[in-house]
Amino acid sequence: MNLVDIDDLTREQLHDVLDLAAEIKAGERGDSPLADQTLAMIFEKPSTRTRVSFETGMTQLGGHAIFLGPDDIHLGKGEPIKDTARAVSRYADFIMARLFDHADIVELAEYGTVPVVNGLTDDAHPCQTLADLLTIREQFGGFDVDVAWVGDGNNVCQSFVLGAAMTDIDLTVATPEGYEIDESVRNRAAGLGNQPAETNDPGAAIAGADIVYTDVWVSMGQEDRREQKLRDFDGFQLTTGLVDDQPVMHCLPAHRGEEITDELLESDNAIVWDQAENRLHAQNGLLVWLSEQ
Ligand code: CP
Ligand code: NVA
């Protein structure tokens, strides 16, 4: 079983992972469920939360994590991804990878013989969605909420769209024209029974929402599109004026002064630190759950 995107899980499995995460967070599971197990962590892109939360999580669960940065292994350079997948699977009990091309995590998962977890690609960020759902459930006691996504229809947005579809969250996605979610994601959400509403008007999305969620406009690897994107996203910045006193989520890192103001991020509306903490708990739940499959 792999987690290439959040809809690799069934609805029931998603709730099981979240329940297990909550149990582990509450200290209700025994010590060292992953004793003697190793997580190989492959990173083509930088990371603060994903790297530290997975590595800390493995320590908490009684196992061990190995950090493999872009210059540490042969992945995609000295040897094909499928060879890395098969070799690393002979040593480690899990592989987590943060890669550029989504096709590469699909290949890693296809050839890996241990669970492969997507730690972010250009198209998806399912571990972020697990943490987001855990956070929303904690804050609202369930998923009967209206969420407004304001910004880029990017990797974080796309996995959240699918996670929202699987939990019946009422989601409105507001992007500038040309930055909408992929058609394939829209179709998958529809197949899960809950396609998001879409608009190019951030104010309309925010009106009546229980939560407002944003992410950077310039994702890792898009630096050469920066000037164009800053122009195209004019009017989409979350400010204390635009947000109507709702809780604000952000997967972080935040680019203050671009998608969100420093004032709003530092305000009591921002629940971003609880959200960031939940990366650890959600992933602990995921890893233990995967080990039991
Ligand atoms: N949200 C998230 O994945 O953060 P990092 O890039 O710091 O891992
Ligand atoms: N959309 C951002 C998320 C970072 C966690 C990026 O891909 O850079």
Q: Which amino acid is at 118?
A: N
Find the catalytic residue in 215, 246, 281, 283: 215
Torsion sign over Cα 127, 193, 151, 105 = positive
Distance 238 CA to ligand 1 centre (A): 20
Residue 78 has pLDDT above 90, yes or no: no
pLDDT recorded at residue 168: 97
Cα–Cα dist 274/268, whole Å: 12
Torsion sign over Cα 156, 102, 179, 199 = negative
Distance 88 CA to ligand 2 centre (A): 26
pLDDT recorded at residue 119: 98
Other Cβ atoms less than 10 A from the Cβ of 153: the count is 23
Confidence class of residue 31 from pLDDT cuts 50, 70 and 90? confident
Closest ligand to C-alpha of residue 159 is 2
156 CB less than 6 Å from ligand 2?
A: yes
pLDDT recorded at residue 233: 98
Cβ(41)–Cβ(51) below 8 Å: yes
Q: Could you tell me the two tokens for 71?
A: 């210059």
Distance 45 CA to ligand 2 centre (A): 10
Which letter does DSSP use for residue 195 in this model? P
Distance 199 CA to ligand 1 centre (A): 27
Find the catalytic residue in 37, 128, 237, 283: 128
Which atom of ligand 1 is closest in space to residue 52's alpha carbon? 8
279 catalytic? Reply is yes
Confidence class of residue 291 from pLDDT cuts 50, 70 and 90? very high
Q: Could you tell me the two tokens for 124?
A: 């998806």
Find the catalytic residue in 49, 125, 137, 281: 125
Rounded alpha-carbon distances, angstroms, from residue 149 to 88, 90, 133, 259, 292: 37, 41, 14, 12, 34
Per-residue pLDDT reduced to its tens digit, 202-213:
999 999 899 999
Mean pLDDT of 154-164: 98
Confidence class of residue 267 from pLDDT cuts 50, 70 and 90? very high
Confidence class of residue 45 from pLDDT cuts 50, 70 and 90? very high
From 220, 279, 283, give the residue whose CB has the most ligand 2 atoms within 8 Å, as the site to mutate.
Answer: 220
47 CB less than 6 Å from ligand 2?
A: no
pLDDT recorded at residue 77: 81
Q: Whose CA is nearest to atom 2 of ligand 1?
A: 49
Q: Tell me if 6-125+279-291 shares its fold with 128-275.
A: yes
Cβ(172)–Cβ(196) below 8 Å: yes
Find the catalytic residue in 98, 102, 137, 281: 98
**Domain range list for the chain:** 6-125+279-291, 128-275
pLDDT recorded at residue 76: 75
Q: Is 64 exposed, middle or buried (0-12, 13-18, 19+ CB in 10 A)?
A: middle
Q: Which amino acid is at 169?
A: I
Per-residue pLDDT reduced to its tens digit, 169-193:
999 999 999 999 999 999 999 999 8
Cα–Cα dist 127/30, whole Å: 23
Cβ contacts of 197 within 8 Å, gap of 6 or more: 171, 172, 173, 205
Q: Dump strand ranges (E) for 119-162.
A: 146-150
29 catalytic? Reply is no
154 CB less than 6 Å from ligand 2?
A: yes
Is the CATH number 3.40.50.1370 carried by domain 6-125+279-291? yes
256 catalytic? Reply is no
CATH code for residues 128-275: 3.40.50.1370
Distance 69 CA to ligand 1 centre (A): 15
